[in-house]
Structure 1
Amino acid sequence: MMETFEAIRADIDRRLTDAAEKRHGAMHTPVVVTADADARVMVLRAWDPESRTLRFHTDARAPKAGLIGDGAPLGVLFYDREAKLQIRCRGTGRIVRNGPAVDAAWAASPNFARRCYLGEAPGMESGEPKSGLPPEFEGVEPDEEQLLPARENFALLLVTVESFDWFFLAHKGHRRAILDREGARWVTP
């Protein structure tokens, strides 16, 4: 059990780094919640402990991208069932469509993943179940040239974390700490 705020902060940094790097990690797919109380599971792509920034990939045409825009409050919930640990992050999200970070994230993504941005915009209604991908890319990996139009739909969701709510479930008694710009404090679970 962690007894110091320094240990908790180090644990948070380690877990979020692992979550971004380990595809099968317990915290790899947190729940991201926008100000309209809409929640969705997203893949954590990167964690920068120095700037306290979480990075996700998103479609620039998605309704959440319009809602978040240049800055909006967001919540991100991470949970590790085995460790019995929950980390709630509150912060400000922003959508970034251009620049070196976006270009690097796009270049690092495999073609099979990038093909998602060739399809219809997220949330489009359909009379039948479908992926929204153009038929020629259903189950097929496009080449670099075929992916050129997809790049304009790709964006980053960057979340600058302003507070962490660290919650450890324990048979002997739960423990909870808040770490934010004001400092760190224990709170009852």
Structure 2
Amino acid sequence: MDDARHRLSEGASNRKVPFHSPVVASLDGEGGVAQRVMILRAFDAEKWQLRFHTDARSPKVDQFDSSDAVSVLFYDKDAKIQIRVAGRAVVERDSPEADAAWNDSTTFARRCYMAEAGPSSTSQSPTSGLPAPIEGVNPSEADVAPARVNFAILRIVITKLDWLHLANEGHRRALLTFEEESREPSGQWIVP
């Protein structure tokens, strides 16, 4: 449990570690799974919750509105540690936490939400979607202010955490489950 807590905390605060950019999966609404790499922005070690940022117009937001089932895959090749998380996704557009996340982001990061069309929109040519005067530029607070409506946070409430250490002498694996109300984890070793 301590290793998982440490790695998730470090992943949220250090962009140079592998746990900073896990694969997040949702149900795609067509009987399949949609996966994408996302940046881990925060980890609440007491509540065992992850936070990511997303465009509110993104198809994944609709997917999470339809089904809150989510899984996240973290892997550190050098440490040979894999963590698989299952949980509930909560999308927040207008909440104090979403406001704080927006305000704590740089204007350069907020620039992503200035795209004129939402993620996955079609285009006649390769495009970032950003207005031409903003592309490659660090915009002002006034420039990014209208884009706040496109910003949301994706909070993941962890219900299960599967920790695996790959080792030549023998793998080790543990499973943590979390009580919904108290968020207290219970764990057990399992066969890899």
**Range into which the TM-score falls when normalised by the shorter chain:** over 0.9
How many Å separate the matches in 1 of 2:57 and 2:71? 21
Is residue 185 from structure 1 mapped to residue 182 from structure 2 by the alignment? no
In the alignment, residue 178 of structure 2 is paired with which amino acid? R
Query: How far is the alpha carbon of 1:181 from its aligned partner?
Result: 3.2
How many Å separate the matches in 2 of 1:32 and 1:111? 25
Query: How far is the alpha carbon of 1:188 from its aligned partner?
Result: 1.7
Match of 1:140 in 2: 137
Contact residue 114 and residue 147 of structure 2 kept, 8 A:
yes
SS at match of 2:18: coil
How many Å separate the matches in 2 of 1:38 and 1:105? 25
Using the size of structure 1 for normalisation, the TM-score is 0.92
Q: 1:48 to 1:71 in 2, by over 3 A?
A: farther
In the alignment, residue 108 of structure 1 is paired with which amino acid? D
How many Å separate the matches in 2 of 1:52 and 1:82? 25
Cα offsets for 1:62-87 (capped at 9, x unmatched): 00011112860100011111100000
Q: What RMSD, in angstroms, separates the aligned Cα atoms of the two structures?
A: 1.3
Contact residue 70 and residue 94 of structure 1 kept, 8 A:
no
- Figure out how many residues of one structure are paired with residues of the other and give that number: 181
Unaligned runs of 5+ in 2: 180-185
Aligned-residue sequence identity (percent) comes to 46
In the alignment, residue 11 of structure 1 is paired with which amino acid? D
Query: How far is the alpha carbon of 1:97 from its aligned partner?
Result: 0.3
Match of 1:31 in 2: 23
Match of 2:56 in 1: 60
How many Å separate the matches in 2 of 1:11 and 1:70? 33
SS at match of 2:109: helix
Matches within 5 A, 1:36-185: 36=28, 37-69=33-65, 72-119=68-115, 120-181=117-178, 183-185=186-188
Moved runs in structure 1, 4+ residues, more than 2 A?
none
In the alignment, residue 84 of structure 2 is paired with which amino acid? R
